Structure 1
Amino acid sequence: MYFQRCTCVILLICSIMQDSQCCDWLRYSYRLLSAESLKMLQEMGGDYTEDASPVPFPESQYKKMIYSAEPKDQVRFLNESIYQITELFNGNMQAVKWDSKKLDDFLNLIHRQFYNLKSCVPPQVKPDMNLKRYFRKLNRKVLRKMKYSANAWELVRKETKSHLLRLDIIAALLRNRIYI
């Protein structure tokens, strides 16, 4: 309850301040929520599958964000990636065998990351269509094609872990820049 109140206060303050000042949340709080969401992702399902996803991980997009993107584009990419993960987990989850409490905790953490990051994204920045396409393919070629099976969700959970780990790298780079 206390943490939720703090989050509300931070959001209120961020809505009053300029974009660059709002991104203090990214500098000081993102790491904690990200670590906790990775922990919940692991604990909700145990060991990750060794199966490979039929949709190749968007390695080049992450490299671009890590090595050559402007900070505002990196922040947008973080936010958009988190948003796409939340959308992916809105599918039919009846077949999953995960711990439902940890799944709920994971989803709540991801939603909080999205809403907090949203205040850091400049409104004029356009979405990354390649990222959107990747997640659409993941939904279509894994979840739908595999009929939302437990195995399909395990592949999505494994891919989500990869995304969250890469997003942590981008966030660490952003924390070290003056922009934030």
Structure 2
Amino acid sequence: MQDKFPQYSRTYLTLLEEMGEKITEDSVGVHFPDELYRLARKSQPERIIRFIAQVLDEVSLLLDEDLNVVAWDQKKLKDFMSTLDTQLVATQSCGDKAKAWELIRKEVHRHLTKVDLLASTRL
């Protein structure tokens, strides 16, 4: 994930900036709780991956509306959504792999504990 994430991130951020006029400086009046980012930053890698995947998924769902009413460059919007979705899938699979390895580690631990018990009682 660390290899490709910056590449895709730069791509979708650039597309987001270029698909419309200059990004507005107007305030929306509703602020995302930045505390969640501070908490995520202090979390274990698996939780950070899940947090990133959740944010990407929410952005994808938000922009998966009928956006024909906006004056955005439709090609760049399509490329943005494609890149975002690619990043989301990769992030989700990375999280699943981490979880799968934890399950494997659990089973290996269980079996090696049994081997240890067998060796200590029967040898």
Instruction: Tell me the TM-score normalized by structure 1.
Output: 0.52
Pick from 70, 73, 77: which aligns with 2:51? 77
2:89 matched to which residue of 1? Answer: 115
Query: Percent of counterpart pairs with the same letter?
Result: 29
2:32 matched to which residue of 1? Answer: 57
Q: Residue 107 of structure 1: CA displacement?
A: 0.5
Pick from 27, 32, 37: which aligns with 2:12? 37
**CA RMSD after TM alignment:** 1.8
Alignment of 1:30-179 (within 5 A): 30-66=5-41, 68-122=42-96
Q: Residue 54 of structure 1: CA displacement?
A: 2.6
Q: Residue 122 of structure 1: CA displacement?
A: 3.6
SS at match of 2:58: helix
Q: After the TM superposition, which parts of structure 1 deviate over 6 Å for at least 4 consecutive aligned residues?
A: none
Which structure has the greater CA radius of gyration? 2
Consecutive unaligned residues in structure 2, runs of 5 or more: 100-123
CA contact 1:72–1:122 (8 Å) conserved in 2: no
Consecutive unaligned residues in structure 1, runs of 5 or more: 1-25, 126-180
Q: What is the alpha-carbon distance in structure 2 between the residues aligned to residue 122 and residue 58 of structure 1?
A: 26
